[in-house]
A and B are shown apart, each in its own frame.
Chain A
């Protein structure tokens, strides 16, 4: 056995594999949102059912959860049932949940909601203006906004349940 080679190999392998492993569970696309800690861009959007317009300004005083999603997006379908469930717990405690359609058609979204559940309004964003204001890079993306209209937390991809709950608990 040539121990020099073993030693050199170990010096290379261990840190290298450790560094690669450190990347798991993090999203390389997730650059800290410049919006965190800043006022949430206002919007006034019509609900998917039509007729009603919801504006962020009117929701002052209560935390808001804003979830951008689409029916064609697989991770959205995966997280949606959980969001519906958790909204049943937090809505009575004063949190407003809102979905925002991202690049999708209303009939398809309605089918999506029939399939994966519905407990809060979904808003239409036909020209993606709101998505652009929030800097949405892909769906799902979820924003938690506090009662003063500040963005407290942004989730890229499906939300992590523990962080989501702890952020909301801190606001209530």
Chain B
């Protein structure tokens, strides 16, 4: 029954996308407000149908309806309820259904947000989003259909992949990434709409940038949470391994970050339009590439779903979107108006943004090359190789360093042109503080060159960012007097978009410090203890108190109770575990972490002998790991602040309606 209902819902979604795509594109080409309305209605239908689909699947999972293919694949009567709920995205076909649902939600949000605005572009954009919707609903309806009935009906299922059952973060990490990935569809569709219309207005540029901020924030959060999950689950004490799928999420992050900056030049000065739109389309293409990497079985990664038939379909889609994007850019780029105010001084914010964009492009190329190199090499020479961390670190560390430096320099430079004298003066204080920080760290015995350099450049960027954040408030306070705090808050509220950008920058600084500290002074100790014995790891005394076994419905765990103390403090107990899941042969470690801003102590069991209690474990001591998670949170918060819709923006509608032709203005009236 659910199979039939689910299938019907998906077919409705597919039909809605098809009709809506045609209506939207027609509405854009003919400037038809009626067609645009149809496209929006179809977007809502698409959302409704996928919502029903996801609801049915959750119902089937929760009621253990093993007649549904996907439930038979990942369900299990012994799984706790929260695992059953998140099983929706634990395997291929369910995750594609979830994907279609998120796309439906974004399409509906887009329909709602553009319903009374941007008549020139919104219909095209709606149509393009639904074209992507056609592809995903086609996948769910066809090759990745999770609703296929199963006969004979099994009595129980194996449960989802144990790695995913092992941690609560599994509830949030994939949805955040999906929200990031799928959300890139909307700015892509809007960029394509600009090209299809052959015109890009400042209001549309601004809408584009806002549309990108939402998925960008989710993607950032998804990546950081992924690092956190890998740190807390995989038991090796690291958070980033340059695994193909990690890279797959990092690539669109790089291009979309570059886009968010070059879009400012596009919005302000009408410059870099071709480049900015290329970044935009590239970001979407890289999310499709990322999905392909995870689901095609072509790349070797911890994340890969098993070999699946949808690889070739995804590749075809990727090739089609690539070709479409290139042809669209080629056909329309010369139609967009030429840049205005082409003069950018060497020491200007414009130049800093261009340099930053070049660095991001170089970073993207480096990561893309390293990730695909095993495939390229095998295609050419037939040899199997793998590209590991050293390559990525060799290029990634200096590139990141320069990017943090530019992040400091850029905001302090004026738009257009600046006198070199003023620039030098502007940088004296932050440079001085950076030198002090480096000297201070060196005096405390932290002398590794790269981490030290990163601390210095982070201090430099942080000081400038804080100065820039305070500047409007200080100016207001000097002029009007009164309470300094009130002046700061009020001025910040007025310049919210800019302040939000600086919040993101501060987040980046925190992450940079965390990464430099934790990778620079990582200390790993191997210990083997009998119950009652005490071992030393760095400044910690670790006493192995006892071991015990916990049995759960879906797993059994071996726990080691370890007492942690330093010379002057009792830090309580840590209990690392080894979890054994029936579906997976070898047990999975679940490390125990004591995380404080200064330093993490990370205990992970290597082997535990249940009879004698002999315990082998790893103690990983890393400073500043906590800063990475906190910085990621700050970045996401900044993105949320920036993307939050403002009242004032609705005036943009009126402002941009003026230069439009009378016909369009009439259609605005007709549609409102």
Contact = CB atoms under 8 A, between A and B. Distances in A.
Interface in B548-588: 582-586
A13 interface: yes
Interface of B: 73, 158, 292, 296-300, 304, 306-307, 311-312, 315, 318-319, 322-323, 326-327, 329-331, 333-334, 372, 374-376, 378-379, 384, 582-586
Given A20-B296, A70-B585, 10 more contacts: A1-B330, A5-B329, A6-B330, A9-B323, A9-B330, A13-B319, A20-B292, A20-B318, A24-B315, A28-B304
A32 B382 CA distance: 12
A20 B371 CA distance: 11
A23 B299 contact: yes
Contacts of A21: 312, 315
A89 interface: no
B579 to A, nearest CB: 15
A5 B379 contact: no
Given A1-B331, A19-B379, A21-B315, A28 B297 contact: yes
25 contacts: A1-B331, A2-B331, A4-B330, A5-B326, A5-B330, A6-B330, A9-B322, A9-B326, A9-B330, A13-B322, A13-B323, A16-B322, A17-B322, A19-B376, A22-B375, A23-B296, A23-B298, A26-B378, A28-B297, A28-B298, A28-B299, A28-B374, A31-B384, A103-B584, A157-B307
Chain B binding surface SS class = helix
A20 B295 CA distance: 13
A17 B296 contact: no
Contact of A6 (B292, B326, B378): B326
A19 B323 contact: no
A26 B589 CA distance: 30
A112 interface: no
A27 interface: yes
Contacts of A22: 375, 378-379
B299 A24 contact: no
Nearest to A13: B322
A18 interface: yes
Given A28-B297, A28-B298, A103-B585, A20 B327 contact: no
A28 B300 contact: yes
Contacts of A2: 329-331, 333-334
Interface in A89-129: 102-103, 128
Q: Which 6 A-B pairs have the closest CB atoms?
A: A103-B585, A9-B326, A23-B298, A28-B300, A5-B330, A22-B379
A19 B372 contact: yes
Contacts of B158: 72
Interface in A67-81: 70, 72, 74-75
A102 B315 CA distance: 35
A26 B378 CA distance: 11
Nearest to A102: B585
A17 B316 CA distance: 9
A79 to B, nearest CB: 13
A3 B330 CA distance: 7
Contacts of B318: 17, 20
Contacts of B323: 9, 13
A14 to B, nearest CB: 9
Contacts of A5: 326, 329-330, 333
A103 B584 CA distance: 8
A9 B312 CA distance: 21
Contacts of A102: 585
B123 to A, nearest CB: 24
A19 to B, nearest CB: 5
Interface in A119-172: 128, 157
B443 to A, nearest CB: 48
B375 A19 contact: yes
A6 B327 contact: yes
Contacts of A3: 330
A79 B379 CA distance: 29
Contact of A27 (B292, B297, B322, B329): B297
Contacts of A19: 372, 375-376, 379
- Identify the interface centre among B297, B318, B334, B372: most chain A CB within 10 Å of its CB: B297
A17 B317 CA distance: 11
A20 B307 contact: no
Nearest to A28: B300
A34 B330 CA distance: 51
Interface string A8-50: 0110010011111111101111011000000000000000000
Contacts of A31: 384
B300 A29 contact: yes
A157 B307 CA distance: 10
A20 B585 contact: no
Given A28-B297, A28-B299, A28-B300, A20 B375 contact: yes
B315 A17 contact: yes
Contacts of B73: 74
B319 A23 contact: no
Nearest to A128: B585
Contacts of A157: 307
Contacts of A27: 297, 307
A61 to B, nearest CB: 33
Nearest to A30: B384
Contacts of B331: 1-2
A116 to B, nearest CB: 14
A24 B296 contact: yes
- Identify the interface centre among A29, A32, A102: most chain B CB within 10 Å of its CB: A29
A37 B248 CA distance: 37
B582 A72 contact: yes
Contacts of A23: 296, 298-299, 375, 378
